[in-house]
Every structure is written in C-alpha cells, then in structure tokens.
A and B are shown apart, each in its own frame.
Chain A
Amino acid sequence: MNHSHKRKRGGPLAREAQIAGWLFVSPMVLGFTLLLLFPMGLALYMSLTDWPLLGDHHFIGLDNYRNIMTDAMFWKVLANTVYFTAGLVPLNIVLALLLALLLSRNLRGIGIFRTAIFVPVMTSLIVWAIVWKLMYATESGLINQLLLMLGIKGPAWLYNPDLAMPAIIVTSVLKNVGLNMVLFIAAIQQVPRSLYEAATLDGAGKRGTFFHVTLPMITPTVFLTVVMTVIGSLKVFGQIYVMTQGGPSNSTKVLVYYIWEKAFKLFQFGYASALAYVLFFIVLILTLLQWQLRKRWVFNEGDA
C-alpha cells in the first residue's frame, strides 16, 4: 500500500484526517469486530468446552481435539473432503483453462458461449443441485435415459457409494468452472502481443506457445484460482445437503456437513466448534504453504 499518503501535513488537516478516517471505517470495524472477530474468539473458547444447547458448559481443555483424533467418522469425512477436493480442483482448473483458451479468441458470437458457461455460476447452488438430482434420478432420470438410448443401463448414481461422490464432483465442476474461466480469459488477454509474435518468429507451434508463453505469463492467476478453488472445495456443503444428505453409507459426508450435523442437528456446539477450528487450521496451513510455494513457480512475481 504505497499510494497517496505521501502528503505529510501537520496541524488541523492531519487531525481532521484521523477523525474522519476512523469515523468512516467505524461502522464496518464495529460490526466486523462484533460479528466476526468476537465469534471467532468465542468459537475458540467453545472448542475447549462441552457446550450443549441447554444447561451449563464445562471447560474440558483439549478433549474435543483429542476426541476428534480418535473419531473414526472425522477421518472418514476428512477423507471424503480430500477426495472431493482432489477430484474437483484439477478438473476445474484444466477445464477452465481449456475453455478460456477457446473463448479468448475473437470469434463471432463468442459472447453467447461465454454466457452459456457462466450462467451456472450465477444460478443458486441449491437450484443447480436440485436439477442435477432430477437428472441423476435412477429409474428414468435424463442421464440414464440418454444412456439407455445407447443401450446402456445406467446405475443408481446417487445411491451407489462408489458413484455418488464422482457424480457430485462433476456437478460441482460444471457449476463453477465459468468463474475460473473468466479469470483466465482476463489473464490471457493481458499477455503482451509481442510475446506471441516473438514465439511465432521462433517457429513455436501452438503447444509450444502455450507452454512457453501463455502458461508462464498467467501463473499468478493460476495460483490464485487454485488457492481459491481448494479452499472453496474444503467447504463444500450445499450440493451435498440437497443431493445426498451425506449418504449413501456416509460416502459423501464431508467436513462441513459433519460440522453442521454436530452443531445444528445434535447441538454439540463444543465438538462442532473444535471441528470448525480444524477446518480453519487446514485452510490456514494450505494458504501459508501455497504462499511459500508461490515464490518458486510464479513467473512474474513482483510485477503486479
């Protein structure tokens, strides 16, 4: 932040700036402290207690965290969350990048295609999940009907423990791929033309141009989207809630679903808070880790 505060003025104007500055930010800072920082601290305390819906709570130290470590269901939901993330992120990034490459060309009617791919991003996740649930319907959902036309008897997508998660991953990729695509289009369009001309003069083919010019130039955006998509995936909830409710046989029960279940169905607020903090730590570690790694492979670091 090295803009516009080079003017050092003494006297009434500077004092006026102190007062005005704080006055302008005070509603947000106050609300933010009350509705974000304070609950954040309270959640940490709650995670160290048994905190039922009714009755008193007791301080129990790290017991919740110890219990989490030996909770078979926690490891199951963690594995499911990792499965979802590991399935979704590469699919999403690669597909978004391919689409961005296609859609950053100057073709007639390109806006229609961009819109088509972006519309699911705008749609409510719940609406999207409901419609896909209909499409996945076992007996005669659209997908199985189309398969039947090819002579294939479709499986019970959302009722098969091996297929439910992949089905949800596909749905989720299609829902949000447009968002990353738009970011990639913006990044690709910022690559200087001269670099492409130089690559063409050097006789680089399409593939070479992509790997030696486009990709290195857009790594900051790739980095950003990977971080955002990973963090988003770790917090998957809505589509699970609508499509499978964590089933069949817990095969799609993810971390946030488990937190929601513990907190708002079973009212074990202490345990749920500890689970939520585990999620927070995972997000924190990933962010820091990727921030460190970023220095190694992001090409034009510092240019931004």
Chain B
Amino acid sequence: MKAMPSPSGRKIGSTLGTYLLLTLISLIMIVPFIWMISTSFKEPQSIFTYPPQWIPETFRFQNYIDVFQLIPFHRFYWNSIYISALVVLGTVFFASLAGYAFAKIPFKGRNVVFLILLSAMMIPHEVTAIPMFLFMRQLGWIDTHLPLILLPIFGAGGVFGIFVMRQFFITVPTELEEAAMMDGCNRFRIYARIMLPIAKPGMATLTIFTFVTIWNEFFDPLIFINSRDLMTLPLGLSLFTDEVGTAWQYLMSATVMATLPLLIVFFLAQRRFIEGVAMTGLKE
C-alpha cells in the first residue's frame, strides 16, 4: 500500500511518538494472545499467581495432549475443517456462477433479482434462524452437519459471495468474451476457461472470507448441534466456560490449537485479505 504524504515538516519527533503509540496499542491487542499462550503451558496452580507470570516456570506441554483425552477435541477439529472446506467449495462455485451471470449475461429480470438479493443482506440472521430450526427438525436434520453446510452456501454468506464475485467479473473486458463467442465457445466454457482464471483474486478473497466466517461461526452450531461429537471448535470451546471451576490451562491450550489454522491462513494470505476487506467494504 502506498503512503499518505505527511503534511508536516517536523518528522523525526512525531515519528518516534507514533512508534511508541503504535507499540502500546499493538501490545494491548496482542496481550490476550500472549496470555493465552502463556496460560496454555502452565501448571494449574501457577495460573493465578501474583505477580503475573508471563513465562511459566515449567512448561507443561502435557496440557496439549490432555485436551484430546478430556474432550473429543480431534472430532471438533475434524468437524470444523471438513465443514469449512465444503462451505468454501460450495460458496465459491455457486456464487461465482451467479456472480458471472449478474455481471456479464444480459438476461431479463437480472436487475430485479439482484435488487432482491441486495435487500436480503439486511435480514437479521436471528429472524430466519427460528423457522430454519423448525424446518430442519421436520427434515430430521437437527444434530447433523447438513444445516451448517447448506445454510451458509445459499444464505447470507452466498449472497455476499455473489457481490464479491460480480465485482471481479465486471472488470473483465467484454471484448474478451465476444472473441470467445466468435470462436464458438458456449457460456459455461467462457465462464470456466476465461472468467474463472481471471477472477482468481476474487475467488481467493471469497475463500478466505468464507473460511474465516465458517471457522468462527457460533450461533448456528449452537442451535443445530446437541451431541458433543458433532460440535465444531467454537461451540466445543464454549462448553467449558459455563462449567464451574474451569480448567483454564486446558481451555487455553485448546484455544491456541483452535486459533492456529486461522493464523496460518492469515499470515499466508495477509496482504490479499486486508486488501480484499478494503475492496468489498467500498463496493460502490
């Protein structure tokens, strides 16, 4: 990202001040994570010692192993991974199909349908959650992963995906498409062979967005899942907090492990992701 020109001349002093301020703010942001990691390695009796121990006296790696024995943590992990993967695949596929059509195919009713989708973004999730619960119960899908996979693909998440993808397809020059049509390509071939490769940055943005959202999703699993074995990570973690006498060292090591994939994805895709956020936030 390029920088804003500094309007003032006296730079050095203000630069130093800026660094100090930024360091302080960043520390406040990061402290919870440092504390989380620190606690995850502690012996139970040294969690609440005074003064606070930033580096545990003895590192108890066993906490990380115990978690898997105490709760079906590997199940939570697997559930989160495969649900996120399916939702990402479904969303990118269906949203890019629709996004392409809304951007490039002049069909009747396009604007009306798009407007309806647009307004649907405003619907609070809580309104549709209640009928959805009953609907899923009717289908016998309560306490299965089906609602957690299907609802985000075709619900608000999918609609959001259409916006992101449409945004990318609009920028593709029409001439490219027309040339392909001259060569006798049909729409689906144009979409698959020409459009998708061009929209790769859009797909990457949508993938990360969707992955983060689903990995962190809490409300839906809370409503649709009852069995321990079927829980996803956020729900599984929250189980601990209302039980009396929380074992913080286990909860924190579980939390570290639950956050890890997200941080890895983030560091790999950081630039693109932040730019993606900025871009979609300014969709006008």
Contacts and interface: CB of A to CB of B under 8 A. Distances in A.
Our verdict on whether A and B bind, yes or no, reads: yes
Interface of A: 1, 3-5, 7, 16-18, 20-22, 24-25, 27-32, 34-40, 42-43, 46, 99, 102-107, 112-120, 122-128, 130-135, 137, 139-142, 145-146, 148-149, 174, 178-179, 182-183, 185-189, 191, 193, 196-197, 199-200, 204-206, 209, 220-221, 224-225, 228, 231, 235, 237-238, 241-242, 245, 256, 259-260, 263-264, 269, 272-273, 276-277, 279-280, 283-284, 287, 304
- Counting from the closest, the 7 A-B pairs by CB-CB distance are A21-B107, A31-B154, A106-B3, A186-B278, A24-B101, A116-B26, A140-B48
A144 B156 CA distance: 41
Contact of A186 (B100, B162, B281): B281
Interface residues of B, number: 113
Given A241-B238, A242-B238, A182 B98 contact: no
A130 B8 contact: no
Given A117-B26, A124-B259, A127-B237, A140 B49 contact: yes
Nearest to B52: A145
Contacts of B275: 186
A188 B50 CA distance: 44
Contact of B26 (A113, A130, A277): A113
Contacts of A114: 274
Contacts of A260: 126, 219, 222
Contacts of A117: 25-26, 29
Interface string B222-252: 1100000000011101101110000010011
Given A200-B7, A209-B7, 13 more contacts: A22-B109, A24-B187, A27-B94, A31-B150, A124-B259, A124-B262, A126-B216, A130-B237, A131-B36, A185-B1, A189-B3, A204-B7, A279-B126
Interface in B3-30: 3-8, 15, 18-19, 21-23, 25-26, 28-30
Interface string B46-75: 001111100000000000000000000000
Contacts of A20: 101, 105, 107, 186-188
B130 A126 contact: no
Contact of A107 (B19, B36, B100): B19
Contacts of A36: 120, 123, 128, 154-156, 159
Contacts of A37: 116, 120
